[in-house]
Structure 1
Amino acid sequence: MRSRNAFLGLVAATGLAVASMSMSTAAVPAPQPGTLGGYDITGTYVSGLSSGGFLANQLHVAYSSVFQGAGIFSAGAYDCAQNSVNTAQFACMDTFQPRKTPAELEQLTRTRATAGTVDPPQNLSGDPVWLFHGTADQTVDRAVNDDLATYYRDFGAGVVYNNTTAAGHAWVSPIGPNSCGSTTSPYVNNCGTADPVREMLGHLFGQVNAPASTLSGKLIQFDQGRYVPGGNPAPVSMGREGFAYVPRACETGPCKLMVTLHGCYQYYGLVGNALMDKGHLNEYADTNNMIVLYPQATTMAGNPRGCWDWWGYQSAQYALKSGPQMVAVVNMVKALSGGGAPPTTTTTAPVPECVTASNYAHTTAGRAYVLYGQTYAVGSGQLLGLWNTYTTSSIRQTSPNYWVKC
């Protein structure tokens, strides 16, 4: 049963100031089209759940000169997976196979820093790090999360580790729709009066004000293609749209920036705004001068549940500064900080023609892939039906390695 949970999680995957404990239920505002304009950013932090937690750690380590701290729900130490799906599944979620020790991963980090592929790990010393692992979490083994705590502590980070809450594998919020111990969509759990988001922000920032009951800001929907190398997010398993919540105070004054990365099965194209609406971050953003950036992954071959790349499904450079998803997120951070977006090349292409063939032929030609006997279009992940020589479907290629139904 543990092995099955691990597999599902992998392909899916995933001093405080005195404050009032009133639980805000302010709905996230409707998204409005926009761009990531420059703001007065005083500090940049990263947080995430499961696959988003692994990516949050990768970003913090590889770009430790950019990120000043991290908050991570249920993930393991830097590059635990070692570019292997089997290692990710059976050593870095379940623990049936041996995995690299924290000390070995620390040395790997130093070696990469010497080569210039990640920032010097000395930058991690003194950084605040908040970690969470629920006692009902059977998707990522606690021992793996413990390794993450050891990794950070060995580099001198200030670690606070909440591992006593009876939560399942999920982001935990006092306004979450799911019961505390569940591990079900949309993976935002309510554990009663527990408010891990308040704990996290309090540790990262040193203090935290009570959350707002009414949101003052706006939710910007932007084109992630502007920040992805090559200008097309689909080949790197990122969605076309990303989001940023910007409080009114941040329009004119200094603010912190929190990058928040969803888990598997939790991307916008599948669960909509569930994490943005119920994650309890925007409420604190309004009262603590904090912009929240919500980048979005999506599906592709080898990643049918929209996980972030922490085992190498998209690029062997996934954990380095040159990793395509890493570069894209950092480009977004730079744009919000006033650095602007990198130029993208736009070309006009003819309308692609539809290709009609059996689902078996689509897969052998690389236009589709198979999962549990069903066929899915490469890139979009759209269901085409049973995988055999009799079921046919019509699909067209809208961009490199991105196919959609006609």
Structure 2
Amino acid sequence: MSSKRTRTFLVAAVLAAGLVTQHSAAIAAPPDASTSVVKLQRYQVDPAKIFVAGISSGGFAAVQMHVAHSSTFKGAAIYAGGVYWCAGAGGVATALGNCGGQTLPTGQASYNSTLAESQTYLETQSALGTIDAASNLRGQPVYLWSGTKDATVNPLEMADLNSEYLRYGANVRFDNTFPAAHGWESPNGELDCGTAGSPFMVRCSQNGAVYDSVKTWLTMFLGSLAPRNNGKLQGSLMTFDQTEFGASPKVSLSPTGSVFVPKSCSQGRTCGFVLALHGCKQQSALIGNKWVGQAGINEWADTNSLIVLYPDTIATSAPDPTNPNACFDWWGYSNQADPNYAIKTGLQMQVLYSMVQRVAGVQ
């Protein structure tokens, strides 16, 4: 097959899949264009309370951030993601065929284990110092979510991730028995647990009561929690400028993102911090504020002094149609080809980490 035909095939595959696969996403208005854009501020952040969370492509990216910067992130919550460097050096074809993103005629998500290759790469990069030492993962709390009805990321992929974290000594909680479709689980989710499709925000139950996966992992991370704020939030949800950190179409990052800052944190209290990464087709230009509003993190953050950062992506189009579904980079698409996408020097990784450093008061 010629290189031109190969590229056409791969782009078509991404368009058809993109880790939130065959379902068409309903278009929603982006946040009000009149909303003022602020400069992301520095806060007093407890270095022992910096965490990362993500769903789908954001789940794969959250694993990359956690593993590469394990001295910074002290825990992770991964929904429907997969092992570190899952796509390897094979680009989108390997990503879709092995890790997820396309649904087979059987109704199951594509899957071929890359666990062994992942662990070899992780340990090699750890030894080289291109990522933080793998030993940092020992004892860290890790929450994993995989719905039994997920036809986008095969539950076997998440089982591999469970094995990987256990190999490096993490303290893992694996929620893998809920009959959930592909998505982020939250009491705020607008879709019933087993319903697939946009905006990929699902709501599940356990023993007749609404489940709250966010409460589960925040309890792992922080211990006893103050009650969730189910009323009007006292903190501020702001739109911040991502361009000062290097966000641009070249790295498929939007000019703006969102940040939630509890009142106590804005007043100088030492707070925790969560970096939250959405999935493909969950960018604000497509679904508006549904990711930020339905994730169910802000309600806990408001009463437990947690700053939550929601970076946002943008879809790419001709002449660079490498990321039409606005995924976070977990196969090396940044600037069309980034072989370092999963290590500290990854193009998108550097932008995201710069944002984390700003909030944590480092830069």
For the aligned residue pairs, the C-alpha RMSD in angstroms reads 2.2
1:12 deviates by: 4.1
Q: Is the 8 A contact 1:65 1:123 kept in 2?
A: yes
1:286 and 1:75, CA in 2 relative to 1: closer, same or farther beyond 3 A? same
Secondary structure, aligned partner of 1:327: helix
2:4 corresponds to which residue? none
Select 1:166's aligned residue among 176, 179, 188: 179
**How far does residue 33 in structure 1 lie from its aligned partner after superposition?**
2.4
CA spacing shift, 1:248–1:132, aligned 2, 3 Å? same
| 1:85 maps onto 2:108 in alignment | no
CA distance in 1, matches of 2:186, 2:339: 34
Task: Pick from 241, 247, 255 the counterpart of residue 240 of structure 1.
Answer: 255
Report Cα offsets for 1:179-200 as digits up to 9, x if no partner: 2111211111122411111112
Query: In 2, Cα distance between the equivalents of 1:217 and 1:296?
Result: 20
Question: Quick check: 1:221 aligned with 2:239?
Answer: yes
Report if aligned partners of 1:109, 1:121 keep a CA contact under 8 Å in 2: yes
CA distance change for structure 1 residues 170 and 85 in 2, over 3 Å: closer, same or farther? same
Describe the SS at the equivalent of 1:130: strand
Q: Which runs of 5+ in 1 are unaligned?
A: 15-27, 341-406
Deviations 1:143-169 (A, max 9, x none): 101000000000000000000111110
Whether the 8 Å CA contact 2:113–2:160 is kept in 1: the answer is no
Change (3 A) 1:131 1:278: same
User: What is the aligned partner in structure 1 of residue 324 from structure 2?
Assistant: 304
Distance in 2 of aligned mates of 1:302 and 1:82: 17
Residue 224 of structure 1: how far off its partner (Å): 0.6
Aligned residues: 320
Partner of 1:10: 18
Q: Deviations over 1:121-179 (max 9, x none)?
A: 00111110000001111111111010000000000000000001111101111121112
Structure 2 distance, partners of 1:100, 1:190, is 30
| Aligned residue number for residue 226 of structure 2 | 209
Mapped partners of 1:303, 1:272: distance in 2? 19
Letter in 2 for 1:66: T
Distance (Å, rounded) in 2 between the aligned partners of 1:34 and 1:164: 41
Contact 2:19 2:56 in 1 (8 A): no
> 1:13–1:307: 8 Å Cα contact kept in structure 2?
no
Checking the alignment, whether the CA contact within 8 Å between 2:254 and 2:314 is kept in structure 1 is yes
> CA offset at residue 207 of structure 1?
2.6
Which segments of 5 or more consecutive residues in structure 2 lack a partner in the other structure? 1-11, 23-30, 103-108
2:194 counterpart SS class: coil
1:189 aligns with 2:193: no
In the alignment, which residue of structure 1 is the partner of 2:303?
A: 287
* CA distance, structure 2, for counterparts of residue 288 and residue 79 of structure 1: 33
Q: Report the Cα offset of residue 31 of structure 1.
A: 5.4
Alignment pair present for 1:99 and 2:113: yes
Matched, 1:38 2:42: yes
Shift of the alpha carbon at 1:91?
1.0
Q: Look up the match of 1:348.
A: none
Q: Which residue of structure 2 aligns with residue 367 of structure 1?
A: none
TM-score, length of structure 1 as denominator length:
0.75
Bigger relative contact order, structure 1 or 2 (CA pairs below 8 A, ≥6 apart)? 2
Structure 2 match to 1:392: none
Shift of 1:279: 1.1
User: In the alignment, residue 222 of structure 2 is paired with which amino acid?
Assistant: F
| Partners of 1:140 and 1:10 in 2: CA distance | 11
Equivalent position amino acid for 2:161 in 1: L
Distance 1:278 1:90 in 2: 30
Match of 1:258 in 2: 274
Q: Which residue of 1 aligns with 2:79?
A: 73
* Separation (CA, whole Å) in 2 of partners of 1:6 and 1:240: 23
Provide TM-score, normalisation by structure 2: 0.83
Which residue number in structure 1 is paired with residue 168 of structure 2?
155
2:60 aligns with 54
- The percent identity for this pair of structures is 37
Please tell me whether the aligned partners of residues 234 and 302 of structure 2 are also in contact (alpha carbons under 8 angstroms).
Answer: yes
Query: What displacement does 1:298 show?
Result: 1.1
**Residue of structure 1 aligned with 2:135, choices 85, 108, 122:** 122
Alpha-carbon deviation of 1:13? Answer: 7.2
Provide the residue aligned with 2:125 in structure 1: 112
Distance (whole Å) between structure 2 residues aligned to residue 31 and residue 178 of structure 1: 28
Deviation string, structure 1 residues 18-71 (Cα, Å, up to 9, x no partner): xxxxxxxxxx99954212211111121000000000000000000111100000
How many angstroms apart in 2 are the aligned matches of 1:176 and 1:96? 26
For 1:209 and 1:166, the matched residues in 2 are separated by: 29
> Which secondary structure state, in structure 1, belongs to the residue aligned with residue 131 of structure 2?
coil
CA drift at 1:104: 3.4
Structure 2 distance, partners of 1:31, 1:258, is: 23
Structure number with bigger Rg:
1
